Structures are given as structure tokens and as C-alpha cells.
Amino acid sequence: MLEVEGLEVAYGDLQVVWGISFQVPRDSIVAILGPNGAGKTTTLLALMGLLPIGAGSVRFGGEDLVGLPTHQMVDRGIVMIPEERAAFQSLTVAENLELGAYTPRARTVYDQTLAEVYEIFPRLAERRKQSAATLSGGERQMLAIGKALMARPRLLILDEPSLGLAPIVVEDIFGVIRRIRDRGVSVLMVEQHVEMALEVADYAYILEMGAIVAQGSGAELEADTRVQEAYLSL
Amino acid sequence: MSQLVAQSIVSGLLLGGVYGLVALGLALSFGVLHVLNVAHGELLMLGGYLAFFAFTNWGLDPFVSLPLVFIVMFGFGVLLYLCLFRFVTRTETHTRIKNSLLVSFGLALVLQALAVRFFTADERTISTAYSSEALTVWSIRIPVVRLAGLVVAVVAALALEWILSRTRFGKALRATSEDWTRAALTGIDVRRVYLIAFAVSAALAATAGSMVSLGYSVSPGIGLGWTLKALIVVVLAGLGSMRGIVVAGVALGLVESLASVWIGGQYREVTALVLFLIVLSFRPLGFFGRARA
């Protein structure tokens, strides 16, 4: 569904991503893992059109995405949840969800999607009149995911969904990510939390210093000695 | 209370309404685009001249020409955004202020020079048949042409608040103002939001200009003075409440007026600025400002 070939990204003169290639097949969870500063978030921002792409191609459902403005990516069904505080703090929970369905494509099925989101996250229905700033960490992540679902994604991109959350909440969030995949949404996520991410991911790439150094299914990577030494506390 | 004091309270309130109206537009461009447009007062000046010439050349009453002035200056705002401010908003949020200062100072000088060239340096006031009419309450005169400025300010603030809180576009505007990256990731066309917010800001400045040329006067050099007043009002009120901006505008007008009666006309501006410093030291986000994440 998403095919990235030879992607290069730089901040001015500082090149961060060095020609990486990866794919997200339909109905699967793909994780990009690696240490802080490996270029994971940079890769996502470039995919979404928020950073200029130096070289390489990005194709989604066969269509070339390079150079497309961010809001049009969303309209095509590529929705990214940025790290932390993805929801607007100055808006209420309901307003955030309403804005989530901003694109014309999502707006037509607004009522139906909203009912689905409230069914997945009953807590959001309880808090719909509250300002997003008053939510707890876990509720914020729920709102972030709920808001993204309102856009009717075909590919959901998550940047560090576990960041700043208690392990038990992370379990919940990863459970939700699985449910979302089972509803026919492909998922691309970036994680520092390698061990937990390998449990949910169907396929994963390890990114170091802006290059992919290992890839495979979750089980394959868990068995890989280099990955074990570098990332897994066994 | 003496007659003089009562009269100056009323004048202060009325002038303060115009301060509020000018500040509404500035708050919009500053709050949403994070650019500081110091040529805001020049846009007011242009709006004032538009209303003046519409009256003298075509006999259009300033209230009839008001929507026209709004639309023309909305268009001019679109043009300014596309030719100048678009490039400023391409930079990171924290570098926009200084870049926009450079760009808009230049713009202010150009607009002033053009105004002197084409409109001459004469002071102009629209004098309609009702210009000298006034309501009299307890022997205090309330000139109708000045009362109009306050009324237009209140209407504009309420309309803006309604748009911001009730409409989809208003919510998109608030979202963009909080974080443009996240707004784009939500599917909002941020450039379009910027374009419209800037154009409305220019149109609001021009609306204020219409009221200024009706109740007061316009000349090519008035811009900077109005920009400064608007800036003080925005800082006093904080960004967050449109109603609060009009209230702060009225408060500033009132303080200036009382200062000139009790302390002396030459201390009018100084007193207002001292008040400004005092407020800032106790409420750095302004009276109605909300902390941002």
C-alpha cells in the first residue's frame, strides 16, 4: 500500500535519512524501530510533506506522493498522529474530534465515524465537553487516536505512541492499534520501545543513523542476536 | 462628578471602541499567523481614504460604503499575503515576528509615501448631514458618528467570537493558531487559513478606518499611531478573547481621557503606557489571555 524507495531527507546541510526503503502492505502493522536520533520522526515528517524530500520516491496505492501538501495526504487517507499532545489543547474533546473529520471525504460519514470512535473509547464520550488540556496522559493518546480515526484513515501513522505512558496504558493503546488494523487500516508506527513494538508489529525495520540495518517479522527480529544485544533486555 | 470629567469619560469610551476595533484585526493576524504587521495602521489609513473618496466622489454614505471598503480591503489583504506575508509564514514560528517586522515596516513606509503622493498630506474628515448630531444624556454630548465606532467594534467582536466558537472554519483557525503543523496533519489547508485570516485582519483595519474618517480624521501619517494603540490593546487583553480586546480598547481610551483631564493633556499617552507596564508586570498574558502549551 505504501512504498518508499531510496528516501533521503536533510535539514539544510545536515542529512539525516540516507536512502531508506520500506513498505507497508495492506492490513498490516509495520514498525520502524531504533534509538533516539536515528531519523525515525524525520522520516515520518518527510512522508507527510512537512519536510522536503531530497531524493527517493513515496508511492501510496500506486500514486506518487512527493511534493503533495500535507492536507492533501490526509484527504487521501494517510493520517499521522504526532508525538505527544497531538490534540489541540485549546479545543474541547468534541471539537477535536469534529476537526479530525475536516476533509470532505471524512465529513460525509461524520456521524457514523463519531459513533465508532465513542464505541472504541467510551471515555472520550464521557469527556466530550471538556477541554483537551484537562485530560490524563492515556486519555490524551485516546483522543489523538480517536481524532485520527475521524479522518477515516487508510494508513495510520503513529509517532512514538507509547511515549510518556505507563506500561499498562501502553498495553491498552497497542491493543487498540491491533483492533484498528483488524478493521482494515494499515498502520505504520515508529517506536523506541522495541520490545513491546515487536510484539504487535507484523513486520519491522531497525533504523540507525538514518539507514535501515535490519528488517524482518517481529519473531525474526526477536531472534536476531544483534537486535537482542542492542535493544532487547533479555 | 463635574461635567468635564463626565464628558471626557464618554469621549474616552467612544475612542476606546475604535482602539478595540483596530486591535481585533491585529490580534487575528498576530494570533493566527504569528506575524506582527506594523503596517496595520496604514491599512486603517487606506480604509479611511476609501470611505472618504467613496463619500466625496460617489456620494456614498460611510455606512453604505462600509461593506464595500471591507471587501476591497479584504482583496488587498489577499494580495499582500500572496506577495509578501506568504514568504514570512514559510519560516519557523519563532522567526516570523522579526521577519514580519522588517517586511511590514517597509510596507508601512511605501503605503505612507503613496498616500502622500496620491491623496496629498491634507487631513480629511467625512462630513455628512448627521456629522454634528449628538445624543444628549444628562447634558453629556454623545456624537453619533463617534458612537458608531464603538457599536461597530462590539458587533465585529461578537461576530468574530461566533465564527471562532461555532463554525468549522473558526475551529480550524483556532487549531492553526495553536500549532500549524498539527493543523496540517489534521487535514487543514494551513495556507488557506493564513490567507483568509490575514485578509480579514486587513478588512477589519479598513473598517476601523471608515469609522476614523467619519468620527475623527485621516491623513497619510496616522498609521503608526494606530498600530501602537492596537498593539497596546492586544497585549493588555491577551490573545484568547475577542470581547476582551474591545473591553481593553475601551479601558485604554478611558484611561487616556481621564489622564488628560486630571493630570494634563501632555501626559495622556504616558499614563496609558505606565498602565500598560503595570498590567504586564502582574498579568504577563494580559487580562483575558490564556496560557498556551
pLDDT at B293: 36
Indicate the residue of B168, B187, B293 with minimum beta-carbon distance to A85: B293
Q: Which residue has the cell 504577563?
A: B284
Interface mutation vs chain A, best among B186, B193, B195, B285, most A CBs within 10 Å: B186
Handedness of CA B78, B84, B90, B92 (dihedral sign): negative
**Residue B162 pLDDT more than 50?**
yes
- For chain B, the average pLDDT equals 90
Fold assignment, A1-68+189-234? Rossmann fold (3.40.50)
Number of domains in chain B: 1
CB pairs under 8 A between A and B: 68
pTM greater than the 0.95 cutoff: no
Cβ contact A50–B190 (<8 Å):
no
**Is B290 a member of any domain?**
no
Contact B17, B153 (CB under 8 A): yes
Interface mutation vs chain B, best among A89, A102, A108, A156, most B CBs within 10 Å: A102
- Report the gap between the CA of B187 and the closest CA in chain A (Å): 4
**Is B264 a member of any domain?**
yes
Q: At what angle do helices B3-28 and B223-237 cross, to 10 degrees?
A: 90
Residue-wise pLDDT tens digits, B88-109? 888 887 889 889 999 999 999 9
**Is B86 a member of any domain?**
yes
Residue of B nearest to A75 (CA): B187
Containing structural domain, residue B262: 3-282
- Report the gap between the CA of A69 and the closest CA in chain B (Å): 8
Phi, psi of A60 (to 5 degrees): -130, 115
Tell how many helices (H) and how many strands (E) occur in chain B: 12, 2
Residue-wise pLDDT tens digits, A177-200? 999 999 999 999 999 888 888 989
Residue-wise pLDDT tens digits, A126-139? 999 999 999 988 89
Identify the residue with better confidence: A41 or B93.
Answer: A41
Identify the residue with better confidence: A190 or B240.
Answer: A190
Residue of B nearest to A81 (CA): B185
Q: What is the DSSP letter of B265?
A: G
Q: Which residues of A touch B181 (CB under 8 A)?
A: 50, 82
**Residue A74 pLDDT more than 80?**
yes
**Residue A234 pLDDT more than 70?**
no
Residue-wise pLDDT tens digits, B143-160? 888 999 899 999 999 999
Determine which of A152-156, B214-218, B277-281 has the lowest per-residue pLDDT on average.
B277-281
Average pLDDT over residues A43-69: 93
Residue-wise pLDDT tens digits, A77-105? 999 999 877 799 989 999 999 999 999 99
Cβ contact A74–B185 (<8 Å):
yes
Indicate the residue of B174, B186, B292 with minimum beta-carbon distance to A102: B186
**Is B288 a member of any domain?**
no
DSSP characters over B78-100 = HHHIIIIIHHHTTS-HHHHHHHH
Indicate the residue of B172, B191, B292 with minimum beta-carbon distance to A102: B172
Contact B173, B164 (CB under 8 A): yes
Confidence bin at A33 (pLDDT 50/70/90): very high
Average pLDDT over residues A158-171: 89
Q: What is the DSSP letter of A68?
A: -
pLDDT at B54: 93
How far apart CA B91 and CA B74 sit, in angstroms, is: 24
**Is B287 a member of any domain?**
no
pLDDT at B290: 61
Cβ contact A82–B189 (<8 Å):
no
Q: Which residue has the cell 507497508?
A: A24
How far apart CA B247 and CA B24 sit, in angstroms, is: 11
Which residue ranges make up each domain of chain A? 1-68+189-234
Instruction: Bin B30: left if φ > 0, else alpha if -120 < ψ < 50, else beta.
Output: alpha
Average pLDDT over residues A62-77: 93
Cβ contact A48–B185 (<8 Å):
yes
Interface mutation vs chain B, best among A68, A70, A93, A129, most B CBs within 10 Å: A70
Indicate the residue of A81, A90, A102 with minimum beta-carbon distance to B188: A102
Residue of A nearest to B239 (CA): A90
Indicate the residue of B175, B187, B189 with minimum beta-carbon distance to A88: B175
Q: Which residues of B touch A86 (CB under 8 A)?
A: 182, 185
Indicate the residue of A71, A86, A90 with minimum beta-carbon distance to B184: A71
pLDDT at A60: 95
**Residue B81 pLDDT more than 70?**
yes
Residue-wise pLDDT tens digits, A9-27? 998 889 999 999 999 999 9
How far apart CA B211 and CA B214 sit, in angstroms, is: 5
Domain harbouring B173, CATH code? 1.10.3470
**Is B289 a member of any domain?**
no
pLDDT at A233: 63
Question: Hey, is A88 helix, strand or coil?
Answer: coil
Cβ contact A88–B187 (<8 Å):
no
pLDDT at B4: 82
